[in-house]
Chains A and B, each alone.
Chain A
């Protein structure tokens, strides 16, 4: 077995990448463009609950919301729900008959600090429970220690363990320290077979940001140029407002192009974004600013 070596990848200039990312936020998204963006955002959403206090009831309700985000008007369902492994079965049953996929975080989420065989077994069991997508975490400790081959091997093994399920690799960018590290981690994950790369667990304070996601876009783009393979991206954590959602979409549109404007290749991981998006949609429809009282919590 050959040891993985990180290929030569471009460095990232912090100032310039942040200024570029900020430029996407100045796009003016109005009227039809806004409506289309909001509906697209719903279709791309991984509606998430990842709490110690999650129960079957909670997941059940979230799944209902996922399938029918809004009452009284036609509204697309979300892309997936994202839950802990033990609740995959509940979600799967709740979503029967819908297109909504079940994603589950696995591999000793959120820290990843467990034994590899255990993490792989967790994946297998979760897939066996019916998960369509596995959101794994990389071992940030190993990554920061420079053990890139170990990260590669773990992701590759996880991919194998996934079988038919799609693998999303969470880089936990908030713990990586620099954009260069984000770019490196993205590369390793893609090289090792990730179907998606995902920014964050949502469990550390610095979650998804536009510049971090832009760096991942650029890694995905270069990987596509080199291999012809389209890898998906999922920013997650901290995306709470509809405006943020369309800013990400602007960035997708202008960096990766139309091919990535699909739930197959772009997801927004969020727990409280959905209602803000719905409120904005309603505002577009009615012309009235909205109140959260009129939107079901879950």
Chain B
């Protein structure tokens, strides 16, 4: 089974699209392993961004063929687990997928989530939602800021991982990591402001104090972008959770391992368990179960093909889910653009509550 990549044909991105990071071809075998053969994703035309915080070469920790450091030390093998309910877990079915580098070598395995993993993740997200939403906006902001800090703190390893797993150049990797940190930082600041900016006091004709304010929708399923494995993820997760939603993220892209790296960052950023749940696997496999899940309130999707998007819309109507499709940028530059961060990206995942309070003695 081959998942074909979908390109959004927008005029601005068209000319760059052939040379950008895109969804990998996942050649799934009948067994428990699929191989990922990414197309060449080198993009060396742009000069490397100034790496202000880089003190050593980003390749220090790069795995070589047998998992040895440059100095020849055999590294301890890392298992990329999924992050559900604050715990790092394997799939209940024990299936994995393989991630291959540009040369076709197996880099690592990652988990192929099952529908029961999805079910568990939704249940974790549901339990976490009210407590997360009832934390103070300031506190949620602090946690998101902390996540931005932690992305910066793990900058070098993330850059390395993007190079190894997503075949980015060092410069591109640095650009994506830095943009990811900045994006998290930008959205973090909105937690205690978006309500102020978007709420209204409504001058009704009767004697009531009437106001409208946004509240989180609830549990949001996120179909992660098929490119920009770190920045794309941050760009979707942050606007969803900052208002108090919790999410279940389904990741299928050229380097799902970056999603797990991000999980490890979020796990050390004071996020309560279950606020963000990250599953790696195959979109087509999990999509009908997520879109039809009656305890998911909204779906954010990016980078799906027409059939997938349509399938989401059809299944979503069972519980009148809110569905929002994010246009997927096709270049790293486009992903990094400030146009990709917007106050209005928060809105598809909030509900407006209008309250009438009597004014009288």
Contacts and interface: CB of A to CB of B under 8 A. Distances in A.
A13 B361 contact: no
Contacts of A14: 207, 358, 360-361
B206 interface: yes
Contacts of B207: 14-15
Which of the listed residues A15, A19, A177, A178 has the most CB atoms from chain B within 10 Å of its own CB?
A15
B359 A15 contact: yes
A28 interface: no
Contacts of B358: 13-16
B203 to A, nearest CB: 16
Contact of B208 (A15, A177, A178): A15
A189 B70 CA distance: 96
Interface residues of A: mostly helix, strand, loop or mixed?
Answer: helix
B361 A178 contact: yes
Nearest to B358: A15
A12 to B, nearest CB: 9
B357 to A, nearest CB: 10
B292 to A, nearest CB: 44
Nearest to B206: A15
Interface in A156-189: 177-178
Nearest to B357: A15
Contacts of A15: 206-208, 358-360
Contacts of B208: 15
A19 B360 CA distance: 12
A26 to B, nearest CB: 16
Contacts of B361: 14, 177-178
Contacts of B359: 15
Interface string A5-16: 000000001111
Interface residues of B, number: 7
B205 to A, nearest CB: 12
B356 to A, nearest CB: 10
Which of the listed residues B206, B207, B208, B360 has the most CB atoms from chain A within 10 Å of its own CB?
B360
Contacts of B206: 15, 19
Contacts of B360: 13-15
B208 to A, nearest CB: 7
A185 to B, nearest CB: 16
A13 B359 CA distance: 9
Interface in B196-220: 206-208
A242 B66 CA distance: 102
A267 to B, nearest CB: 28
Contacts of A13: 358, 360
A14 B361 CA distance: 6
A116 B359 CA distance: 39
Contacts of A178: 361
Interface in B308-361: 358-361
A16 B206 CA distance: 11
A14 B359 CA distance: 8
Interface in A1-47: 13-16, 19
A32 B206 CA distance: 35
A136 B136 CA distance: 57
B211 to A, nearest CB: 16
A284 B229 CA distance: 85
A218 to B, nearest CB: 16
A178 B361 CA distance: 6
Nearest to A16: B358
B184 to A, nearest CB: 46
A13 B207 CA distance: 12
A187 to B, nearest CB: 19
A177 B360 CA distance: 12
A16 B358 CA distance: 8
A146 to B, nearest CB: 17
B361 to A, nearest CB: 5
A15 B358 CA distance: 6
Contacts of A19: 206
B234 to A, nearest CB: 47
B194 to A, nearest CB: 31
Interface in A203-241: none
Nearest to B356: A15
A173 to B, nearest CB: 14
Interface in A87-112: none
A247 B361 CA distance: 25
B331 to A, nearest CB: 57
A19 B205 CA distance: 13
Given A14-B358, A14-B361, A15-B207, 13 more contacts: A13-B358, A13-B360, A14-B207, A14-B360, A15-B206, A15-B208, A15-B358, A15-B359, A15-B360, A16-B358, A19-B206, A177-B361, A178-B361
16 contacts: A13-B358, A13-B360, A14-B207, A14-B358, A14-B360, A14-B361, A15-B206, A15-B207, A15-B208, A15-B358, A15-B359, A15-B360, A16-B358, A19-B206, A177-B361, A178-B361
Interface of B: 206-208, 358-361
Nearest 8 CB-CB pairings of A with B: A14-B360, A15-B358, A15-B360, A15-B207, A178-B361, A14-B361, A13-B358, A13-B360
